[in-house]
């Protein structure tokens, strides 16, 4: 199981955290990954910056802009689902 956490703390919320969640939810639906990917909202991950939202994929930290969230999912999450 792959765990993806998206920060919804104040800074990440203002930098598109909820849009990243929405995008990831659509990707999970699109690729039928309900049994492989757990998507969680998380409060402050202590990774605040002025661009994107903090995201972890199996505890590896990233910053994800909403505009690039689909590409991020395809590059970082999808490969982990292939078994």
50 backbone dihedrals φ, ψ, rounded to 5°? -95, 5
Chain segment 16-54, per-residue pLDDT in tens: 999 999 999 999 999 999 999 999 999 888 888 778 999
**Rounded-to-integer distance, Cα 83 and Cα 26, Å:** 21
Segments in 1-83 forming alpha helices (H): 10-14, 17-30, 69-72, 78-81
- Give the strand pairing for 53-57 and 37-42: unpaired
In the chain, the percentage of residues whose pLDDT exceeds 90 is 82
């Amino acid at each position: 199981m792959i765990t993806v956490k998206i920060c919804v703390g104040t800074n990440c919320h203002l930098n598109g955290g909820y849009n990243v969640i929405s995008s990831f939810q659509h990707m999970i639906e699109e690729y039928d990954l309900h049994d492989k990917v757990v998507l969680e909202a998380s409060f402050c991950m202590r990774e605040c910056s002025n661009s994107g939202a903090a995201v972890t994929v199996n505890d590896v930290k990233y910053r994800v802009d909403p505009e690039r969230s689909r590409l991020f999912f395809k590059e970082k999450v999808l490969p982990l689902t292939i078994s």
